[in-house]
Structure 1
Amino acid sequence: MHSQPFVNPRPQPTEAAGPIIVLGIGNVLWADEGLGVRCVELLQQRYAFAPHVQLVDGGTQGLYLISYVQSAERLLILDAIDYGLAPGTLRIIEDEEVPKFLGAKKMSLHQTGFQEVLQLAELTGHYPQRVVLVGCQPEELDDYGGSLRPAV
């Protein structure tokens, strides 16, 4: 019996890979709404990344994030998203579904602003080759000054 070698369907990025932007968005003043920003903070504290990977605390900056999106070959967005699931549940949305999803499932003003950022990047012809949204179902959003809930 002859076996074929395993081939990884997605090539691993190399030093020559294009820019990868890891973008955390959200408002840290409103409990679980700050998830994306807190994720970027932890990644910066705990890990070292290749020079072509940039971690960005996007907060609630909206259109000010356009240069990051336009410069990315790959864009990873981290955010609290209301999927209607159990608190702490992660869900991944990819590529063309990302702007559609942000438009249909808005739970805060920064998501409306970020949907516009993606649309503007597309209109200018500088849209990432890959866009992935990792969203976490929040437990609490209406706690001004509160921190992330344990489930999140």
Structure 2
Amino acid sequence: MKKNIVVGVGNMLFKDEGIGIYAAEYIRQNYEFEGDIEVIDGGTLGFKLMTYFQEYDNVIILDTVSIEDEIGGIYRLPSDVLLGLGNYRKTAHEVEIVEMLEIVSVLDSHANVTIIGIIPEDIISVGIGLTPKMEERFEEFTLNGIKEIESLGIKAKKVNNIAVDDIVKSMIGSYNGSHLSRIPNEEDFTHETSL
């Protein structure tokens, strides 16, 4: 049986740079699958991606892509196309993904790697949460990920409808300045000092 994995890649500390991670978690929390598929948060895995490229038959990466085109544009980039896109490598993890692909491409057996990428609006500002343009394109981005999963012969069924902001809050407690409720039992602490 073929082993398949979806890896959300990015850095949640830099606005839209976290979209791949959010999309993977959104898929994990909102969908059920019939067939062999794992969905994980790859974060800024870098060279650890090599393990996935060697141990799985199909690897789908959800990520931002640095392509000069309209913000919010969604691309499907199979590994052979990616290897030819020298100008794609802008962020650290983009460089690492391509370097890992170059290394494993000389091996006899390696995964069929496809990137579902979106052109971000802001990956420089420090902040947890997506820009309005990315929020607008988020559903389309995740649906492209689902379509790619289904292309492997895996049936996907939406079972929940948890919004992206709630997904992110469940991961790290905050989204675009909105936080989960106060620290538990915060009011139990007293600031009295005993003499």
- Tell me the CA shift for residue 51 of structure 1: 5.0
Distance 1:95 1:66 in 2: 14
- Tell me the CA shift for residue 121 of structure 1: 2.2
Aligned to 2:87: 104
Q: Is the 8 A contact 1:98 1:131 kept in 2?
A: no
The count of aligned residue pairs is: 134
The one of 14, 24, 29 equivalent to 1:30 is 14
Deviations 1:116-145 (A, max 9, x none): 2222322333312x3221110101111112
- Provide structure 1 residue ranges, at least 5 long, that are not aligned to the other structure: 1-15
Aligned to 1:150: 132
Superposition RMSD in Å: 1.7
2:45 counterpart letter in structure 1: Q
Distance 1:68 1:27 in 2: 19
Q: Which has the larger radius of gyration?
A: 2
Aligned to 1:133: 115
- Tell me the CA shift for residue 27 of structure 1: 0.6
Q: Is the 8 A contact 1:118 1:127 kept in 2?
A: no
Aligned to 1:47: 31
TM-score w.r.t. length of structure 1 = 0.79
Q: Is the 8 A contact 2:50 2:104 kept in 1?
A: yes
Deviations 1:37-88 (A, max 9, x none): 1110100110112452111211111111211111221121111112222221
Confirm whether residue 122 of structure 1 aligns to residue 93 of structure 2: no
- Provide structure 2 residue ranges, at least 5 long, that are not aligned to the other structure: 135-195
Secondary structure of the structure 1 residue equivalent to 2:133: coil
Q: 1:36 to 1:109 in 2, by over 3 A?
A: same
Aligned to 2:58: 74
Distance 1:53 1:99 in 2: 25
